[in-house]
Amino acid sequence: MQSRPAIVGVGRTKFGEHYGKEPEKIIEEAWLAASNECGVERKDLEACYMSDCFLPITNKLGLEEGFLSELTELHVPMEVTRSFSAALLTACHAIQAGVYNKVLVGGIEKMTDRWDKIRDDLMLLEDPWSYYAGGTPEANHELMLRAYIKKYNITGENLDKLNIALAQVAVKNHANATKNKYAQFQRKITVTQVLNARKEARKSLGLYDYAPISDGASALILTSDAVAKKLSDKPVYVLGCTSATDYLNYSAREELSRFVAVDLAMKNASAMAKTALPDVRVVEVCDQSTMMELVSLEDLGFYQPGTAWKSIYESYQNNQNCYEVNGRQLFVNTDGGLKANGNPLGATGGAQIFEIYRQLKGEAGERQVKVDNASPKHGCVLELEGFGTKAYVSILGEKKD
């Protein structure tokens, strides 16, 4: 990747319910935090990229760029995408092309304002035919789990271990979130709680297996390499950033036990970043459900298909907050993941980047992970739109060339 774009500052709000706040207030809070961090003034911005998945539906806002312009008092180019990673990808392209040197990337979602209708909206946007047939936002996750169990013929004791492994994903993410002041849930849960919730619901996945709906915003300042060096002594580079796409309708896809788009996006991002998988030690995956964390680790290539649950189960047995891949530690969703950190769709990817940025810079406080007694050098973010319909992979790290 020529002219690597660099992140020089990040900011975010707490995720959860922001009952009294307008969407503008939340995005303002996030972007001011990012600009404070790197001392970039609003008048320095050459363009803004903002994401929200469905603010026009939840908050009846049709032209989000307008309030962004009001907040920044800028009239520069501004574009809106559906996910933070999509905004970042577009911004990266602009910087690489040499069009801009300093841009704002932000994301916002305010889902609780439409609490009562949100599941219908989400489902209709994600996969209309499944919605028409009665599907819920949770149903596809449960079907994928069924497909996974059947494909890899997981039965008996192994099935129990898989179920515990999935519970462990939620337990680990909740534990991580207790060290994250921005996280939506700040309490620990136990494997028993997760299993009981499933039993109560008479379902394969229960309350504690799913990410919540959230309000929140996140932002970052992205610059060209030259500008980054002036603003920061240790910028975090976007080494690889790409996406891949799959069918809208899950049932029509070739593969039901994995996301082909994730596999593709990761391969392309790795090639772009010239980074080998073993070098990536901190990962933020899109755990809309515990099943998603499990399957994403396989789709990203960390585990062979059908095996990730074994390693997760071991982490449960050893009471660890990280997984093991070929003798190396892999830290996943150190901020609590979508499960506990929260999932305000358009802002989620920004929080994932925020976390990797902090980890790579050694600024993650209590959550800081160490690789060979130092901050990790590379991190990876996977963000999904829909149920695996779009997969965005961003690999962040030190510039090598």
By CB under 8 A, tell whether 120 contacts other proteins. yes
By CB under 8 A, tell whether 256 contacts other proteins. yes
Cα 342–chain centre separation: 10
Q: What is the DSSP letter of 289?
A: B
Nearest approach in angstroms of CB 378 to other proteins is 36
By CB under 8 A, tell whether 248 contacts other proteins. no
Q: Which stretch binds other proteins (CB under 8 A): 100-108, 111-119, 223-231, 361-369?
A: 111-119
Give the CA distances from residue 69 to residues 45, 48, 72, 104, in Å, rounded to whole numbers and listed in that order. 11, 9, 5, 12
- How many residues touch other proteins under the rule CB under 8 A: the total is 31
Closest CB to other proteins among residues 186, 204: 204
List CB contacts of 300: < 8 A, sequence separation 6 or more: 262, 263, 266, 277, 283, 285, 380, 382, 393
Q: What CA–CA distance (Å, rounded) separates 251 from 261? A: 15
By CB under 8 A, tell whether 134 contacts other proteins. yes
Q: Which stretch binds other proteins (CB under 8 A): 133-141, 269-277, 324-332, 382-390?
A: 133-141
Binding residue for other proteins (CB under 8 A) from 130, 184, 270, 348?
130
By CB under 8 A, tell whether 123 contacts other proteins. yes
CB atoms within 10 A of CB 324: 14
Closest CB to other proteins among residues 36, 251: 251
Binding residue for other proteins (CB under 8 A) from 3, 112, 249, 368?
249
Q: Which stretch binds other proteins (CB under 8 A): 168-176, 179-187, 247-255, 273-281?
A: 247-255
Closest CB to other proteins among residues 16, 135: 135
Binding residue for other proteins (CB under 8 A) from 36, 251, 307, 320?
251
Give the CA distances from residue 102 to residues 73, 89, 167, 304, 398, in Å, rounded to whole numbers and listed in that order. 16, 14, 42, 40, 19
Nearest approach in angstroms of CB 114 to other proteins is 11
Q: Which stretch binds other proteins (CB under 8 A): 199-207, 216-224, 287-295, 343-351?
A: 199-207
Q: Scanning residues 269 to 288, which ones bind other proteins (CB under 8 A)?
A: none
In the block, tokens 């503008």 appear at 24
Contact 112, 215 (CB under 8 A): yes
Closest CB to other proteins among residues 15, 250: 250
Q: What CA–CA distance (Å, rounded) separates 116 from 119? A: 8
Q: What CA–CA distance (Å, rounded) separates 350 from 83? A: 9
What is the dihedral angle through the alpha carbons of 341, 118, 18, 85, rounded to the nearest 10 degrees? Answer: 50
55, two tokens: 């603010």
By CB under 8 A, tell whether 119 contacts other proteins. yes
By CB under 8 A, tell whether 112 contacts other proteins. no
By CB under 8 A, tell whether 62 contacts other proteins. no
By CB under 8 A, tell whether 327 contacts other proteins. no
Contact 148, 257 (CB under 8 A): yes
By CB under 8 A, tell whether 20 contacts other proteins. no
By CB under 8 A, tell whether 399 contacts other proteins. no
With 0-12 CB in 10 A as exposed, 13-18 as middle and 19+ as buried, what is 134? exposed
Contact 209, 290 (CB under 8 A): yes
By CB under 8 A, tell whether 143 contacts other proteins. yes
By CB under 8 A, tell whether 156 contacts other proteins. no
By CB under 8 A, tell whether 160 contacts other proteins. no
In the block, tokens 């039901």 appear at 256
Q: For binding to other proteins (CB under 8 A), which residues are involved?
A: 116-117, 119-120, 123, 127-136, 138-139, 142-143, 146-147, 150, 201-204, 249-252, 256
